[in-house]
Structure 1
């Protein structure tokens, strides 16, 4: 697994991931404007032979185009022929590599292996710049809708106590709720993000969706559940705020 920054482009040939620092530098500069061969050498600081190899690779992949100066045919210009879709996130990439290296240690530990696999898939996608949070929240909402009939309470405090018991039984974490103007749900030892380093954003979108759907289905209300603190924001717990409309 490369630790270099990965950028993913859409081309006529399909989706292409680029992890070469030199190639990404070339593509970055060509997004600004068309450049000549000589200009690319200057901005990338590489020898002519090295630049030729990288440009030929990018041409073959369909990421860039080349045109000849109509006045001076010895002069070549290059431009971008693709669209940048996503760019990797270094903190998540490093965490992805860390998890990947620990996978063999979970041999024989079904729970540990499945947990690492779940984290690996999510962090792997995010390491390539794909924001999984919107889709995970929608999936979580679907899951919550299926689980809601198994809960009995029709009042929020009682329902959150049921949720706490469910979370504990399923190994998702230790939950307690605090009632206030906006009730909050606090999760310790969170299955979803418990091993995540500070990546500067909340990560428990799946939990947001599950909680939101359970509350809506059981209480017959519209609500939003938003994570406001997370291991991903440097906290030692997850905290969700519940707003009922």
Structure 2
């Protein structure tokens, strides 16, 4: 069994009741993080290369405090730091481990029960099979949310793997063509309705989203699988890593999901 490290040293200046617990996997071990400051650092860095100054600003902590937390995370193998190519005095942090899970407070808006019941029959056609698996996914996620288990990191990694397989099939000479092929795939498999909303910034809209439309409204984005698929497809198309942010989501109370795609280098 692989070792589990807990980087949970007491911090008297922090609220001991606050903060989620993040789980990461490195080549050598599994690591659990419950320190609120370390959780904040990792939440920022996992979105893309992040200047140390941004972390100091967002945390409200002294630079010396953040530097010590960064050193701990480096020693644990969770992040690496690089010199900013534009300024040798500044450092940029990147994630070097895979997030595999998160424990959080149970969603107060989630109650036991079934939120989505498809019309099922003894003999399934294609649409009803899609409804059935949609029901399974929603039921599983609602139960996890109710007990405070966040499986978004696993869903995103699964989405990236599927997106890497799907990317060559939806490749086209321009972005409009790629989105059109994605929309066709989504329609055929009853995953929702996809449309290109902007090319600057690149923005994709999904309506009737299979991943989140039937979830309760939590105030948070809830489409890590779609995020992973889109990340892989456009990293392949643009031949460079991209960052995908879900700015709107049914689970946030919106009437659609909206994904904004930018080159990862812009985060630095």
Compared CA separation, residues 87 and 107, structure 1 to 2 (3 A): farther
* CA distance in structure 2 between the partners assigned to 1:86 and 1:203 by the alignment: 14
Candidates 97, 103, 114, aligned match of 2:133: 114
Structure 2: stretches of 5+ with no match in the other structure: 1-16, 18-102, 123-127
Runs of at least 4 residues off by over 4 Å: none
Who wins on radius of gyration, i.e. which is larger? 1
Partner residue of 2:168? 149
CA contact (8 A) 2:217 2:253 kept: yes
CA contact (8 A) 1:155 1:219 kept: no
Which structure is higher in helix share? 1
Structure 1: stretches of 5+ with no match in the other structure: 1-30, 32-84
1:159 aligns with 2:178: yes
* CA distance in structure 2 between the partners assigned to 1:173 and 1:86 by the alignment: 29
CA contact (8 A) 1:177 1:186 kept: yes
Candidates 191, 195, 210, aligned match of 1:172: 191
Secondary structure of 1:200 counterpart: coil
What is the aligned residue count? Answer: 158
1:97 aligns with 2:116: no
* CA distance in structure 2 between the partners assigned to 1:170 and 1:112 by the alignment: 10
Partner residue of 1:132? 151
Q: Displacement of 1:86 after TM fit?
A: 4.7
CA contact (8 A) 2:115 2:215 kept: no
Q: Displacement of 1:144 after TM fit?
A: 0.4
Q: Displacement of 1:155 after TM fit?
A: 2.3
1:199 aligns with 2:218: yes
Q: Displacement of 1:118 after TM fit?
A: 1.1
TM-score by length of 2: 0.54
Superposed CA deviations along residues 93-113 of structure 1, whole A, max 9, x for unmatched, are x2x51338x47x635343322
Over the aligned positions, Cα root-mean-square deviation in angstroms equals: 2.1
